[in-house]
Structure 1
Amino acid sequence: MSDMKQAMKEHDKIKLNTVRMIKSALMNEKIKLGHELNSDEELTVLNRERKQREESIEEFVKASRDDLAEETKKELAVVESYMPKQLSKDELEKIVKETVAEVGAKGKSDFGKVMKSLMPKVKGRADGKEASAIVRDQLN
């Protein structure tokens, strides 16, 4: 709410609209689940919002709509400001190595086991595509 008020005072329409969309998405999820959201559920909603904007940016760039891509990048920055700090590639690789050892994975057939154990550890702090690529590299 304080960020919404701040955006109104600053006449920052992009930030205001994005914060409203986030607030609305959180409220919809709360209604859907029928209870107050815990931090994991809030993070899931924020991840969904981030992913939607990333996909939109890709589509706008393909369609040569740079104006819409720039606006969506600004929205993405607002969404990411509410998310935990993202892991660096080195930090993610370290967590993947630990998880591979923890699960006792030997080859490609253990990919699912590793991912199942890894994703709760990095939820909201790393992209699933990047994590799966690193797991594939580790298992090869």
Structure 2
Amino acid sequence: MTGWTTGDWAIALAIAMAALTASVTLGSPLTRAVLKAAGNASDTAERAPGKETIDSAEAVLSGGRWIGMLERFAITASLLVGYPAAIAVVVAVKGLGRFPELKDKPAVSERFVIGTLASMVWSGALGAIGAWAIRLL
């Protein structure tokens, strides 16, 4: 980074903005697709009467789309600035914040874990690619 020109800074900023934008905006449809695929796989298994389903999990996990967007932004940004330890904070805050809703609901917990992992893999990949591209400058 030493000796960067104004043009290098502009390119680095453009790379970072592209990674953050792709992480936040494209992560939601990707995560929903993964959850849908997982829901279809789970629905083929027999469920005991009275047990919650993946469909009912969406109602319990209200605000998930906004939480996911903020999570992806934070993970991608932490990798772009070279502070991957911040990912642990994101995971801890999300897990602790959702614990009461997840405690006794296996289908809801399953949806939470699948969605979180899909979201984290996507945002982590974009953060790593963006950081790599910036290091090439």
TM-score of Structure 1 vs Structure 2, range by shorter chain: under 0.3
Q: Give the TM-score normalised by structure 1.
A: 0.28
Higher relative contact order structure (alpha carbons within 8 Å, sequence separation ≥ 6)? 2
Q: TM-score, normalised by structure 2?
A: 0.28
